[in-house]
Amino acid sequence: MIELVRNVRLWFAPERIKEEGTTPDYRFSLANERTFLAWLRTSLALIGGGFAVDQFLPDLRWAWRVGLALGLLGAGVLCALRAVNHWIRCERAMRKGEDLPVSRFPALLSICVAVVAVAMVVVVLVGWEG
Amino acid sequence: MTGPAQESGIGRDPGLQPERTRLAWRRTTLAATVAAVLAVKAALSGGPSAAGFVVCALFCGLWLGFLAVAHRRIRALSESGQPTVLTPGHASAAVLCTVALAVCAMVLVF
Protein backbone atom coordinates (compact mmCIF):
# COMPACT_ATOMS: atom_id res chain seq x y z
CA MET A 1 0.00 0.00 0.00
CA ILE A 2 2.82 2.40 0.92
CA GLU A 3 4.50 1.31 -2.32
CA LEU A 4 1.37 2.33 -4.24
CA VAL A 5 1.24 5.79 -2.61
CA ARG A 6 4.91 6.25 -3.44
CA ASN A 7 4.24 5.31 -7.08
CA VAL A 8 1.24 7.65 -7.34
CA ARG A 9 3.41 10.49 -6.03
CA LEU A 10 5.95 9.65 -8.74
CA TRP A 11 3.32 9.98 -11.50
CA PHE A 12 3.05 13.68 -10.79
CA ALA A 13 6.68 14.41 -9.85
CA PRO A 14 8.64 13.35 -12.94
CA GLU A 15 11.97 14.74 -11.79
CA ARG A 16 12.02 12.47 -8.74
CA ILE A 17 12.44 9.30 -10.80
CA LYS A 18 15.78 10.64 -12.02
CA GLU A 19 17.13 10.76 -8.47
CA GLU A 20 17.37 6.98 -8.29
CA GLY A 21 19.95 4.77 -9.97
CA THR A 22 21.40 5.35 -13.43
CA THR A 23 19.68 6.06 -16.74
CA PRO A 24 19.23 2.77 -18.67
CA ASP A 25 19.79 2.33 -22.41
CA TYR A 26 17.07 4.45 -24.08
CA ARG A 27 15.93 1.43 -26.10
CA PHE A 28 14.83 -0.33 -22.93
CA SER A 29 12.87 2.74 -21.89
CA LEU A 30 11.19 2.87 -25.30
CA ALA A 31 10.31 -0.84 -25.08
CA ASN A 32 8.79 -0.15 -21.66
CA GLU A 33 6.83 2.75 -23.16
CA ARG A 34 5.46 0.49 -25.91
CA THR A 35 4.34 -2.05 -23.32
CA PHE A 36 2.58 0.77 -21.48
CA LEU A 37 0.86 1.80 -24.71
CA ALA A 38 -0.21 -1.78 -25.42
CA TRP A 39 -1.89 -1.91 -21.99
CA LEU A 40 -3.50 1.47 -22.64
CA ARG A 41 -4.90 0.14 -25.92
CA THR A 42 -6.27 -2.89 -24.07
CA SER A 43 -7.94 -0.49 -21.66
CA LEU A 44 -9.42 1.59 -24.52
CA ALA A 45 -10.68 -1.61 -26.16
CA LEU A 46 -12.42 -2.63 -22.91
CA ILE A 47 -14.01 0.83 -22.68
CA GLY A 48 -15.12 0.55 -26.32
CA GLY A 49 -16.54 -2.88 -25.49
CA GLY A 50 -18.52 -1.35 -22.63
CA PHE A 51 -20.06 1.20 -25.00
CA ALA A 52 -20.74 -1.52 -27.56
CA VAL A 53 -22.63 -3.67 -25.03
CA ASP A 54 -24.71 -0.65 -24.02
CA GLN A 55 -25.41 0.42 -27.58
CA PHE A 56 -25.72 -2.72 -29.65
CA LEU A 57 -27.62 -5.06 -27.32
CA PRO A 58 -30.70 -2.90 -26.72
CA ASP A 59 -33.06 -5.89 -26.42
CA LEU A 60 -31.35 -7.15 -23.28
CA ARG A 61 -32.86 -6.65 -19.87
CA TRP A 62 -31.66 -3.37 -18.27
CA ALA A 63 -29.84 -5.01 -15.36
CA TRP A 64 -27.85 -7.39 -17.59
CA ARG A 65 -26.95 -4.72 -20.09
CA VAL A 66 -25.86 -2.15 -17.50
CA GLY A 67 -24.07 -4.80 -15.43
CA LEU A 68 -22.00 -6.05 -18.36
CA ALA A 69 -21.27 -2.52 -19.59
CA LEU A 70 -20.20 -1.32 -16.13
CA GLY A 71 -18.03 -4.43 -15.70
CA LEU A 72 -16.19 -3.78 -18.95
CA LEU A 73 -15.80 -0.07 -18.21
CA GLY A 74 -14.51 -0.84 -14.71
CA ALA A 75 -12.00 -3.30 -16.15
CA GLY A 76 -10.90 -0.54 -18.56
CA VAL A 77 -10.30 1.89 -15.68
CA LEU A 78 -8.32 -0.70 -13.71
CA CYS A 79 -6.28 -1.61 -16.76
CA ALA A 80 -5.37 2.04 -17.47
CA LEU A 81 -4.35 2.75 -13.88
CA ARG A 82 -2.36 -0.45 -13.72
CA ALA A 83 -0.66 0.41 -17.03
CA VAL A 84 0.88 3.60 -15.69
CA ASN A 85 1.72 2.01 -12.33
CA HIS A 86 3.47 -0.93 -13.95
CA TRP A 87 5.34 1.40 -16.30
CA ILE A 88 6.66 3.42 -13.33
CA ARG A 89 7.68 0.26 -11.47
CA CYS A 90 9.52 -1.14 -14.52
CA GLU A 91 11.23 2.18 -15.17
CA ARG A 92 12.43 2.34 -11.58
CA ALA A 93 13.57 -1.29 -11.56
CA MET A 94 15.59 -0.65 -14.75
CA ARG A 95 17.20 2.44 -13.23
CA LYS A 96 18.22 0.51 -10.13
CA GLY A 97 19.27 -2.58 -12.10
CA GLU A 98 16.79 -4.79 -10.23
CA ASP A 99 14.61 -7.58 -11.67
CA LEU A 100 11.50 -6.37 -13.45
CA PRO A 101 8.38 -6.54 -11.26
CA VAL A 102 6.19 -9.60 -11.66
CA SER A 103 2.43 -9.28 -11.58
CA ARG A 104 -0.67 -11.44 -11.51
CA PHE A 105 -2.71 -8.75 -13.24
CA PRO A 106 -2.50 -10.32 -16.76
CA ALA A 107 -3.85 -13.61 -15.39
CA LEU A 108 -6.68 -11.84 -13.51
CA LEU A 109 -7.58 -9.76 -16.54
CA SER A 110 -7.69 -12.75 -18.88
CA ILE A 111 -9.92 -14.66 -16.43
CA CYS A 112 -12.24 -11.65 -16.18
CA VAL A 113 -12.41 -11.28 -19.96
CA ALA A 114 -13.14 -15.00 -20.31
CA VAL A 115 -15.93 -14.79 -17.69
CA VAL A 116 -17.45 -11.74 -19.39
CA ALA A 117 -17.28 -13.48 -22.78
CA VAL A 118 -19.08 -16.57 -21.42
CA ALA A 119 -21.63 -14.30 -19.71
CA MET A 120 -22.22 -12.52 -23.02
CA VAL A 121 -22.86 -15.81 -24.80
CA VAL A 122 -25.31 -16.93 -22.09
CA VAL A 123 -27.00 -13.54 -21.99
CA VAL A 124 -27.36 -13.31 -25.75
CA LEU A 125 -28.80 -16.84 -25.94
CA VAL A 126 -31.05 -16.74 -22.84
CA GLY A 127 -31.72 -13.07 -22.16
CA TRP A 128 -33.18 -12.40 -25.56
CA GLU A 129 -36.73 -13.41 -24.56
CA GLY A 130 -36.53 -11.34 -21.37
CA MET B 1 14.02 6.41 -46.41
CA THR B 2 16.33 9.13 -45.10
CA GLY B 3 15.31 10.01 -41.59
CA PRO B 4 16.34 13.13 -39.71
CA ALA B 5 18.76 11.03 -37.64
CA GLN B 6 20.79 10.13 -40.73
CA GLU B 7 21.03 13.71 -41.93
CA SER B 8 22.40 14.87 -38.60
CA GLY B 9 25.15 12.27 -38.81
CA ILE B 10 23.99 10.06 -35.96
CA GLY B 11 23.56 6.42 -37.02
CA ARG B 12 20.05 5.16 -37.46
CA ASP B 13 18.87 2.88 -34.65
CA PRO B 14 19.05 -0.58 -36.29
CA GLY B 15 16.07 -1.75 -34.20
CA LEU B 16 13.96 1.23 -35.32
CA GLN B 17 12.95 1.73 -31.70
CA PRO B 18 11.78 5.38 -31.99
CA GLU B 19 9.74 4.57 -35.11
CA ARG B 20 8.11 1.57 -33.45
CA THR B 21 7.27 3.62 -30.39
CA ARG B 22 5.85 6.37 -32.59
CA LEU B 23 3.64 3.88 -34.40
CA ALA B 24 2.53 2.42 -31.06
CA TRP B 25 1.34 5.91 -30.08
CA ARG B 26 -0.41 6.18 -33.44
CA ARG B 27 -2.22 2.86 -32.88
CA THR B 28 -3.23 4.05 -29.45
CA THR B 29 -4.77 7.23 -30.88
CA LEU B 30 -6.73 5.03 -33.29
CA ALA B 31 -8.05 2.95 -30.37
CA ALA B 32 -8.96 6.18 -28.57
CA THR B 33 -10.80 7.39 -31.69
CA VAL B 34 -12.87 4.20 -31.86
CA ALA B 35 -13.77 4.54 -28.17
CA ALA B 36 -14.63 8.25 -28.67
CA VAL B 37 -16.87 7.52 -31.68
CA LEU B 38 -18.75 4.87 -29.68
CA ALA B 39 -18.99 7.36 -26.78
CA VAL B 40 -20.48 10.07 -29.00
CA LYS B 41 -22.93 7.57 -30.45
CA ALA B 42 -23.99 6.59 -26.92
CA ALA B 43 -24.34 10.24 -25.87
CA LEU B 44 -26.62 11.07 -28.80
CA SER B 45 -28.60 7.81 -28.81
CA GLY B 46 -31.56 9.30 -26.92
CA GLY B 47 -32.25 11.83 -29.67
CA PRO B 48 -30.85 15.38 -29.77
CA SER B 49 -31.04 17.13 -26.41
CA ALA B 50 -29.06 19.81 -24.55
CA ALA B 51 -27.65 17.31 -22.06
CA GLY B 52 -26.69 14.99 -24.91
CA PHE B 53 -24.73 17.73 -26.64
CA VAL B 54 -22.93 18.69 -23.41
CA VAL B 55 -21.86 15.07 -22.83
CA CYS B 56 -20.89 14.82 -26.50
CA ALA B 57 -18.70 17.95 -26.19
CA LEU B 58 -17.11 16.48 -23.05
CA PHE B 59 -16.19 13.26 -24.89
CA CYS B 60 -14.80 15.26 -27.83
CA GLY B 61 -12.73 17.34 -25.40
CA LEU B 62 -11.28 14.22 -23.79
CA TRP B 63 -10.48 12.76 -27.19
CA LEU B 64 -8.74 15.99 -28.25
CA GLY B 65 -6.80 15.97 -24.98
CA PHE B 66 -5.59 12.44 -25.70
CA LEU B 67 -4.64 13.41 -29.26
CA ALA B 68 -2.67 16.40 -27.95
CA VAL B 69 -0.72 14.22 -25.51
CA ALA B 70 0.02 11.64 -28.23
CA HIS B 71 0.97 14.33 -30.73
CA ARG B 72 3.48 15.91 -28.37
CA ARG B 73 5.11 12.54 -27.74
CA ILE B 74 5.15 11.68 -31.48
CA ARG B 75 6.84 15.02 -32.22
CA ALA B 76 9.43 14.36 -29.52
CA LEU B 77 10.13 10.89 -30.95
CA SER B 78 10.50 12.26 -34.50
CA GLU B 79 13.30 14.58 -33.52
CA SER B 80 16.81 13.68 -34.55
CA GLY B 81 19.35 12.32 -32.13
CA GLN B 82 18.71 10.16 -29.10
CA PRO B 83 15.01 10.24 -28.23
CA THR B 84 13.93 11.58 -24.85
CA VAL B 85 12.37 9.21 -22.33
CA LEU B 86 8.64 9.36 -21.62
CA THR B 87 7.98 11.38 -18.45
CA PRO B 88 5.59 10.13 -15.75
CA GLY B 89 3.52 13.31 -16.11
CA HIS B 90 3.01 12.58 -19.79
CA ALA B 91 2.02 8.96 -19.13
CA SER B 92 -0.35 10.06 -16.37
CA ALA B 93 -1.99 12.61 -18.69
CA ALA B 94 -2.75 9.89 -21.26
CA VAL B 95 -4.10 7.58 -18.55
CA LEU B 96 -6.19 10.36 -16.98
CA CYS B 97 -7.90 11.02 -20.34
CA THR B 98 -8.68 7.30 -20.64
CA VAL B 99 -9.99 7.02 -17.08
CA ALA B 100 -12.09 10.18 -17.45
CA LEU B 101 -13.63 8.72 -20.62
CA ALA B 102 -14.51 5.51 -18.76
CA VAL B 103 -15.94 7.36 -15.74
CA CYS B 104 -18.13 9.56 -17.98
CA ALA B 105 -19.23 6.40 -19.76
CA MET B 106 -20.20 4.76 -16.46
CA VAL B 107 -22.33 7.76 -15.50
CA LEU B 108 -23.92 7.77 -18.96
CA VAL B 109 -24.66 4.02 -18.98
CA PHE B 110 -26.05 4.08 -15.48
User: What average pLDDT does this structure show over B97-106?
Assistant: 91
Is position B27 within any domain? yes
Q: How many domains does chain B have?
A: 1
Nearest-angstrom CA–CA distance, A15 and A32 = 18
Do the interacting molecules here have an ipTM over 0.85? Answer: no
Domain containing B73: what range?
Answer: 15-109
CA distance A130 to chain B (A): 20
What is residue A25's three-state secondary structure? coil
Q: With beta carbons under 8 A apart, name residues in chain A contacting B106.
A: 70, 73-74
Q: Is A80 on the interface with B (CB under 8 A)?
A: yes
Q: What is the pLDDT of residues B50-101, one digit of tens each?
A: 888 888 999 999 999 999 999 999 998 888 777 888 888 888 899 999 999 9
CA distance A125 to chain B (A): 22
Does the pLDDT at position B16 exceed 50? yes
Is position B10 within any domain? no
